[in-house]
Amino acid sequence: MSPRDKNAPRDVDTPVIIAAKSDVTLAQKDNSNTKKVFIKTYGCQMNVYDSERMADVLAPIGYAPVDKPDFADLVILNTCHIREKAAEKVYSELGRIRNHKIKNKPDMKVAVAGCVAQAEGAEIMRRAPVVDMVLGPQTYHKLPEMIAKVHRKSGEVLETEFDTIEKFDQLPKTRSVKGFTAFLTIQEGCDKFCTFCVVPYTRGAEVSRKVQQIVDEARDLARQGVREITLIGQNVNAYLGEGPDGTNWGLGELIRHVALIGGIDRIRFTTSHPRDMDDDLIRVIGEEPKLMPYLHLPIQSGSNKILRAMNRDHTYAHYKELIGKIRAARPELALSGDFIVGFPGETDADFEDTMKCVREVGYASSFSFKYSIRPGTPGASMPRQVPEDVKTERLKRLQDLLYTQQQDFNQSLIGKTLSVLVEGTARKGSQLFGRSPYITGTHFDGPESLIGTIVEVKILEAGRNSLIGVLAE
C-alpha cells in the first residue's frame, strides 16, 4: 500500500512506508548531521498512527524519514501479531535488513516495535541478533533514551511496559503530517478478550485519552491542512474519556466536539464493537453531517454458537437489530465488516449462518480471514480445529459473495454525485485522485489546484475497488 493510500481501509498484511515529504528530504540532504530513519509499518491503523508519532519523537534528535532501508542509520519495523503470517514476515524482513546492514551500512541500528515486539520481545532478540532495540506499542516515546543507550553501551534494549497515559502525555504536541487526511488515536487496548485474538495481550487494557488532548491534536492537524480525521482505537466506540467538565464522555459526545473544529470537514471512526454501539453514538451517526456515512462494524461469524465460543458476547439477532437502528438513523450509510472462517468447532451449518448473515446484512466492503491459531489465546487450545483445506474452501465461497456485494455497491453509485476529498494526482496520467464518503478511491479529470479541496464528482464507472467520474457542474 503506498503512502497515498495510507488512510484506505487497511489490509493488515500490506506494509506502509513512512517517508518524508520530498522537499524535507531535499532540504536536509546536505546537512551531514541529519540521520536517516526508515520505518516500515505492518498491521492496523493504530500502527500507522504509531509510526507517524515515532517519526515525530525522532525529529528533535535529528532523524529524518527515508523510504528505503539501504543507507538508513536507523531501521524500525513496526510489527503486527494478529495472524501467524503477519508475525512471521518480521523474521524474513529482519534477514533482508541484516544483509543491507552488512553490505551498505555496518553501523545501522535496528529496532523492532509494535505488537510482535510486545508479544515475543525476548524471542526476537534470540532469533535475530541484528536487532538492537525491542519496544512495545506503549513505549515508543522512550525511543531517544533507548537509542542513546544503544550507542553508549552497544547493548540490547528491551522496553515492553504498559503505560499508555504516560506515552500520550510525553509525545510531541505537534505532529508532522502530510496530506489532507490523518488518523488520530483516541483509545487504545482491549478488554474484550475474544478467544481468537492477541490484541488484549499486545496492547493492554482499554485506555481513553482526554477529550482536550484529542481536540488539541485535531486542531493542530486542521492548522496543518488536514480536512479529514479518522478517530481510531482497537475498540473505538468503547471510548470513555475525561471531558473538560470533569465527567467521562462517550464517543458520540467527542465526535460532536471534534466536528466544531473549523477546517475539519470529514470525520470517521474505526474499529467499533457491536457491544459498545450506544444510542447516543447512533444519534450522532444520524445527525452529524461531518460524519461520513460509512461504518466498519465487524461481526466475525453469523453463528450464535461460534459467536459464543469467540466470546463476542452478542448474538446475530442483536447485531441485526443494531444495523436496523443505524440504517434507520442514516439510510445512506454503507457497512463494512470483518469475518473469520474456520474458528474451532465451526461446522458447515455454522459457516452457512455466516453466509446468511452476509446475504441479509449486505456489505459495501469487508475483510475476511482464515482463523489463525495464536499462541496464548484460548482458541489455540480449543478442540475441533478446522482443517486448512476446509478453511480455504469456506474463505473462497465467502469472499466470492463479499466481493460481489462490494462490486454491486460500487455499481449502485453510478449516476450519483458524491463528494470527493482530492488527495493528489493519480499514479497514471493526468487524473486527480480522491476518496468518496465510502472511502472508495475515485479518479476524475481536473486541475491540480483542486488538490486538498472537496469537490462533487458524478460517478460514471465502477470497479470493485475504485470509481471513475467527472467533476459535476
Binding mask 256-295 for ligand SAH (x = CB under 6 A): ---------------x-x----------------------
Contact between 372 and ligand SAH by CB under 6 A: the answer reads yes
Segment near ligand SF4 (CB under 6 A); pick from 64-72, 110-118, 190-198, 454-462 = 190-198
The residue among 241 and 298 lying less far from ligand SAH, judged by its C-beta, is 298
The residue among 200 and 452 lying less far from ligand SF4, judged by its C-beta, is 200
Residues 191-210 binding ligand SF4 (CB under 6 A) are 192-194, 197, 199-200
Contact between 374 and ligand SAH by CB under 6 A: the answer reads yes
Q: Name the 3-class secondary structure at 241.
A: strand
Count of alpha carbons within 13 angstroms of residue 313, beta-carbon side:
9
Closest separation in Å from C-beta 124 to ligand SAH: 20
Q: Which residues pair with 79 in a beta bridge?
A: 114
CA distance 29 to 37: 13
Burial group, residue 335, by CB count within 10 angstroms (0-12, 13-18, 19+): buried
Exposed e or buried b for every residue in 374-412, given b needs 16+ CB within 10 A? beebbbeeeeebbeeebbeebbeebeebbeebbeebbee
Say if CB 70 and CB 17 are below 8 A apart: no
The residue assigned the cell 541529519 is 34
Task: Give 165's contacts (C-beta < 8 A, 6+ positions apart).
Answer: 207
Enter the C-alpha cell of residue 450. Answer: 483542486
Segment near ligand SAH (CB under 6 A); pick from 154-162, 194-202, 212-220, 421-429 = 194-202
The residue among 38 and 196 lying less far from ligand SAH, judged by its C-beta, is 196
Contact between 83 and ligand SAH by CB under 6 A: the answer reads yes
Contact between 113 and ligand F3S by CB under 6 A: the answer reads no
Closest separation in Å from C-beta 298 to ligand SF4: 7
Enter the C-alpha cell of residue 417. Answer: 454525485
CA distance 452 to 6: 16
Residues 260-289 binding ligand SF4 (CB under 6 A) are 273
Closest to 21 (Cα-Cα) out of 274, 224, 208: 224
Contact between 115 and ligand F3S by CB under 6 A: the answer reads yes
Closest separation in Å from C-beta 277 to ligand SAH: 12
Count of chain residues binding ligand F3S (CB under 6 A): 15
Give the sign of the dihedral formed by CA 71, CA 75, CA 77, CA 78. Answer: negative
3-state secondary structure 27-88: HHHCCCCCEEEEEEECCCHHHHHHHHHHHHHHHHHCEEECCCCCCCCEEEEEECCCCHHHHH
* Residue of the chain from 371, 409, 438, 444 that contacts ligand SAH (CB under 6 A): 371
Closest separation in Å from C-beta 195 to ligand SF4: 8
CA distance 174 to 97: 31
CA distance 282 to 462: 30
The residue assigned the cell 478467544 is 195
Closest to 319 (Cα-Cα) out of 349, 298, 333, 336: 298
* Strand ranges of the sheet holding 334-341, from the earlier edge strand across to the other edge: 294-296, 334-341, 365-370
Binding mask 15-54 for ligand F3S (x = CB under 6 A): ----------------------------xx-xx-------
Segment near ligand SF4 (CB under 6 A); pick from 109-117, 189-197, 361-369, 400-408 = 189-197
Partner from ligand F3S, ligand SAH, ligand SF4, none binding residue 193, C-beta < 5-8 Å depending on class: ligand SF4
Segment near ligand SAH (CB under 6 A); pick from 33-41, 179-187, 193-201, 436-444 = 193-201
Enter the C-alpha cell of residue 335. Answer: 457497512
Closest separation in Å from C-beta 42 to ligand SAH: 13
The residue among 43 and 342 lying less far from ligand F3S, judged by its C-beta, is 43
Residues 224-253 binding ligand F3S (CB under 6 A) are 234
The residue among 233 and 241 lying less far from ligand SAH, judged by its C-beta, is 233
Q: Which residues pair with 166 in a beta bridge?
A: none
* Residue of the chain from 80, 90, 131, 364 that contacts ligand F3S (CB under 6 A): 80
The residue among 181 and 301 lying less far from ligand SF4, judged by its C-beta, is 301
* Helix (H), strand (E) at residue 460: strand 454-462
Please give the residue ranges that form the binding site for ligand SF4 (CB under 6 A).
Answer: 190, 192-194, 197, 199-200, 234-235, 273
Please give the residue ranges that form the binding site for ligand SAH (CB under 6 A).
Answer: 82-83, 196-197, 199, 234-235, 271, 273, 298, 300, 338, 340, 369, 371-372, 374
Please give the residue ranges that form the binding site for ligand F3S (CB under 6 A).
Answer: 12, 43-44, 46-47, 80-82, 114-115, 198-199, 202-203, 234
